[in-house]
Chains A and B, each alone.
Chain A
Amino acid sequence: MTRVQVDRERCISSGVCEHVAPAVFELDDDGVLQVLQAEPDDPAAAAEAVRGCPSGALSFS
C-alpha cells in the first residue's frame, strides 16, 4: 500500500502539493502541511504532487 509521508522539517509550505492534489494535501492556518488522505484515492495525482514538491519533503512509504 502506498502511504504519503511529509517531512515537516523540509517542507517550505509552498502549497505545490495542494495545487496538484487538493484532495490529499492542505496547508493549515499556520502554514503547516496536513495530509488529508494518507492513502490517496487518486494515487496518480498524489504521485505528481510528490514529484512536484520543490523541497523534497514528500515521499511514499
Chain B
Amino acid sequence: MSAPVVPSGSGLEAVDLSDRTFWAQPPEVKHAVLDQLRAEAPFAFFAEPEIPYLPVGPGYHAVTRYADLEAISCRPDLFSSGAGAVSIQDMPPDLNEFYGSLISMDDPRHAKIRRIVAKAFTPRILEGLVGSVQAVAEDVVARARRTAEEGDGTIDVVADLAAPIPLRVICDLMGVPDEDRAMVLHESNVILSGGDPELIESEEHAVEAFLTAGALLSGLMTRMAVERRSHPADDLTTALVNAEVDGERLTDQEIASFFILLLVAGNETTRNAISQGVLALSEHPDQRDRWAADPGLDKTAVEEIVRWTSPITWMRRTATQDVELSGRSFPAGTKFLLFYAAANRDPAVFADPHRFDLARDPNPHVGFGSKGPHFCLGAHLARREISVAFRTIFQQLPDLEVVGPPARLQSSFVNGLKRLPARLPR
C-alpha cells in the first residue's frame, strides 16, 4: 500500500490512513496515531487508496489540527466541496448523479439548494413531524426487550437499538412506505460500508453495488415525489416537492439525490453515535449513572457523545487556487481531508481531550462539521434522537449490559460499529 510522507524516525512511517484496516482498530490505537500526526505532521500526506475502476488521484493531506481545519472549512471559496466532499477519489459522473447532492456542491448552487431544503427542515417543522421520535424510541426499545426475552437474553445494540431508531425516524419524516424500509436499510448500509468486505462482496463489485443502491433508492424517491405532488401528505417529501426559493423548485433528480444524502448522512451517523455512546457509557459506568439520574445533563452529554465518537471521521476539500495554511503553501488542486476525529481531541482547544466528560462545557466540537455553509443540516434532529434514545434506554432498559467486544467497521470515513453484543438480564 501507499507510504505516507512524514518525518522519518518518528515511528509514523508505518502509518497509512488510506489502509482501511487501520480504522478497524480500537479507538485508543487510532487516537494515539492521530495525536502524533497532529503534533508532528499536521498536514501529513498520504497516497489515495486504490479502488477498482476509479482512477487513482494525486493523494491528500490529513488535516488534524482544530485551527487548520476551521481555517479551511470557513473558506469555501478557497476550499471547494464541489470536487467531492465524501470520497477521496473524484466521483465518476454516473455516481455523481446519485450522490452529488448538497454536501458535494459549491455556491451558488449550494446556497440555492440549501435554502430550499432548509425551508423544509426548520426546527419548527421537525418539531411537528418528529413528535414521533419518542414513540419510535419506545417501540424499538420494547422490541429489543422482547428479542432478548424470546431468545437467550442477549441483543445486538447495533441491529436492535441503534440502527432502527434513526432509520425509522428518517423513513417517518420522508413518508417511506413500510414495505420499502428493509430495502432502504440494506442499500444505505452498502453506500456507507466504505467497501467493508462484510457488506460488499468484493472490491471489484464496490462501484457496481454503489450504482445499484443509488438506482434503487433514487427510484423509490422519484416514485414518492410523483405521488406527493398529486396527494400531498404531512411529511418532508411533500415539503420538499413544494419548497420554492426565488420561483425555483427542486427537480425529481435533485429530490432523489437529496433523499440519498439524508439516508446516508442522517442514518448511519446517528446510529453510530448511539451505538458507540452505549459502548462509552459501559466503559464509564460512573458517567452513565450520573447521566441516568440527571436529565439536566442531556444537553452537554449529547455534545460530548458526538465529540467522543465523531461518527464522521472526515470530509474532503479541494484547493481552488494556490493557498497558504499555517505558513505552508499548497498548489491549486490539493486535496485535504478534514479529520474531525483528530480536531475533536486537539489539546489546544479541549482540556484533557481524552477524558470522556458528559458535563464538558464549553464543548466547541466539530462533529457536525466546522465553520462554513455545509454545517450539518440535521444537527437538531440528531441531537434530539440521541437524547431521546439514551433517556429511553435509561428508563426502559436500565439493566442493559455490554457483554462482548464491538465489531468495528473497516472504513476511514464512518466511525462505525457493525455489532455490539449486550445482555438484558431481567
Residues of A within 8 A of B (CB): 12-16, 18-19, 27-31, 48, 51-52, 54-56
Contacts and interface: CB of A to CB of B under 8 A. Distances in A.
Contacts of B362: 48
Given A12-B114, A15-B380, A29 B369 contact: no
Interface in B393-425: none
Given A12-B375, A18-B123, A54-B375, 14 more contacts: A12-B111, A12-B114, A13-B115, A14-B375, A14-B376, A15-B123, A27-B123, A28-B124, A30-B122, A31-B115, A54-B369, A54-B370, A54-B371, A55-B373
A19 B118 contact: no
A15 B375 CA distance: 10
Given A13-B118, A13-B122, A31-B121, A56 B375 contact: no
A18 to B, nearest CB: 7
B312 to A, nearest CB: 15
B331 interface: no
A16 B379 contact: yes
A12 B118 contact: yes
A11 to B, nearest CB: 9
14 contacts: A12-B114, A12-B118, A14-B376, A15-B379, A16-B375, A19-B379, A19-B380, A27-B124, A28-B122, A29-B125, A51-B364, A54-B369, A54-B370, A55-B372
B119 interface: yes
- Give the secondary structure class of A's interface: loop
Nearest to A29: B124
Nearest to A10: B373
Contact of B122 (A31, A48, A56): A31
Nearest to B126: A15
B12 interface: no
B380 to A, nearest CB: 6
B383 to A, nearest CB: 8
A53 B223 CA distance: 37
Nearest to A55: B373
Majority SS at the chain B contact face: loop
Given A16-B379, A31-B118, A56 B371 contact: yes
Contacts of B371: 54-56
Interface residues of B, number: 24
A30 B121 CA distance: 9
A43 to B, nearest CB: 16
Contacts of A54: 369-373, 375
Contacts of B373: 12, 54-55
Contacts of B379: 14-16, 19
A13 B122 CA distance: 8
B394 to A, nearest CB: 23
A19 B298 CA distance: 13
A20 to B, nearest CB: 10
A44 B371 CA distance: 20
Contacts of A27: 122-124
B33 interface: no
6 nearest A-B residue pairs (beta carbon): A54-B375, A13-B118, A31-B118, A31-B122, A31-B119, A14-B375
Contacts of A13: 114-115, 118-119, 121-122
A48 B376 CA distance: 19
Nearest to B73: A54
A29 B118 CA distance: 10
A29 B119 CA distance: 8
Contacts of B74: 56
A1 to B, nearest CB: 25
Contacts of A12: 111, 114-115, 118, 373, 375
A56 B373 CA distance: 9
Interface string B347-390: 00000000000000010100001111101110110010000000
A27 B123 CA distance: 7
A29 B122 contact: yes
A51 B118 CA distance: 21
Contacts of B122: 13, 15, 27-31
Interface in B176-232: none
Contacts of B377: 14
Contacts of A56: 74, 371
A13 B111 CA distance: 11
